[in-house]
Amino acid sequence: CRLIQSKRGIFTKSDLQAALRPPDIHFPRPRLVCIENTHNRGGGSIWPMEKIVKIAAFARQDGISMHLDGARIWNASVAAGIPESEYARQFDSISVCFSKGLGAPVGSALAGTRTFIERARRFRKQFGGGMRQAGILAAGALFALEHHRDRLAEDHANARVLAEHVHGAPGVEVDCEDVETNIVLLRVPDGSAPVWANRLARNGVHVLSAAPNTLRAVTHLDVTRDQVHEAAGTIRGVAQELLSESGS
Ligand SMILES: *Cc1c(COP(=O)(O)O)cnc(C)c1O
């Protein structure tokens, strides 16, 4: 596995080229490029289509397969106005998740060629993931697809509102321009993220301490616009509290 360092999780064809090891019997041969869209740790960033197309063309010519980790592809599609199928056609396989922003209780799906899926089914069985009663889960996933996909735009608007209202709170850095979908990354002083997350949780706002200097807030179908305003107020209040405690 070679991880490519990049801004907001989005790399270029040249980054990929630089990461590929040359043909050498000491090295494994590169076989697969994975892209995550939207990118979670990148702050819900959306991959520009032209970057994907260039990477896919380059990979194909080198006999390298393309996989899309599309756990949040619905967010990318709704925000960019590009159908999921347009993204998917650039890849050999794609995984999607129904239980994130889409709001189903459980469930992910894998798509690819018939032979690829037959092979995947074998692996699933081998690892104990086979399930005869999956229809009940599929029903929830279908409901989410039919009723919750288009409303993701509300989550995206709510995320921007959250960022705008938190902007300027002491000790917090947030770039409103970076909020493309339903994820808001808040930068806090290095090492303090767990303290912030604990304090916020005690006040009813649940965020993830994603790195020592980063909090991740996610908007979703269980959070209304009013609650977003309330959460922003709580974050500002905690910011003031931590500021005055550090001063005293
Ligand atoms: C959640 C997630 C997955 C896996 O989804 P499961 O439903 O646990 O299989 C894969 N990739 C990303 C980026 C995710 O956030």
Distance CA 114, CA 120 (A): 10
**What are φ and ψ of residue 147, in 5° steps?**
-115, -20
Q: What is the longest distance spanned by two Cα atoms in the chain?
A: 65
**Which residue lies with its CA nearest to atom 1 of ligand 1?**
71
Distance CA 232, CA 239 (A): 11
pTM tops 0.85, yes or no: yes
**For every residue of the chain, which 3-state class applies, written as one string?**
CCCCCCHHHCCCHHHHHHHCCCCCCCCCCCCEEEEECCECCCCCECCCHHHHHHHHHHHHHCCCEEEEEECCHHHHHHHHCCCHHHHHCCCCEEEEECCCCCCCCCCEEEECCHHHHHHHHHHHHHCCCCCCCCHHHHHHHHHHHHHHCCCHHHHHHHHHHHHHHHCCCCCCECCHHHCCCCEEEEECCCCCHHHHHHHHHHCCCCCEEEECCEEEEECCCCCCHHHHHHHHHHHHHHHHHHHHHHHC
Which atom of ligand 1 is least distant from the CA of 106?
7
**What are φ and ψ of residue 67, in 5° steps?**
-120, 135
Distance CA 230, CA 203 (A): 11
**Which residue lies with its CA nearest to atom 10 of ligand 1?**
71
Structure tokens at 183: 């994820």
pLDDT by position in tens, the chain (length 248): 999 999 999 999 999 999 999 899 999 999 999 999 999 999 999 999 999 999 999 999 999 999 999 999 999 999 999 999 999 999 999 999 999 999 999 999 999 999 999 999 999 999 998 888 999 999 999 999 999 999 999 999 999 999 999 999 999 999 999 999 999 999 999 999 999 999 999 999 999 999 999 999 999 999 999 999 999 999 999 999 999 998 75
Which atom of ligand 1 is least distant from the CA of 108?
7
Distance CA 23, CA 27 (A): 7
**Which residue lies with its CA nearest to atom 14 of ligand 1?**
71
Task: Decide whether any atom of ligand 1 lies within 6 Å of the 97 Cβ.
Answer: yes
Task: Decide whether any atom of ligand 1 lies within 6 Å of the 108 Cβ.
Answer: yes
The pLDDT value recorded for residue 246 is 84
Structure tokens at 241: 């509290």
Sign of CA dihedral 195, 198, 199, 201: positive
Candidate of 69, 93, 181, 218 to mutate for ligand 1, largest count of ligand atoms within 8 Å of Cβ: 69
Task: Decide whether any atom of ligand 1 lies within 6 Å of the 68 Cβ.
Answer: no
Task: Decide whether any atom of ligand 1 lies within 6 Å of the 36 Cβ.
Answer: yes
**Which residue lies with its CA nearest to atom 6 of ligand 1?**
108
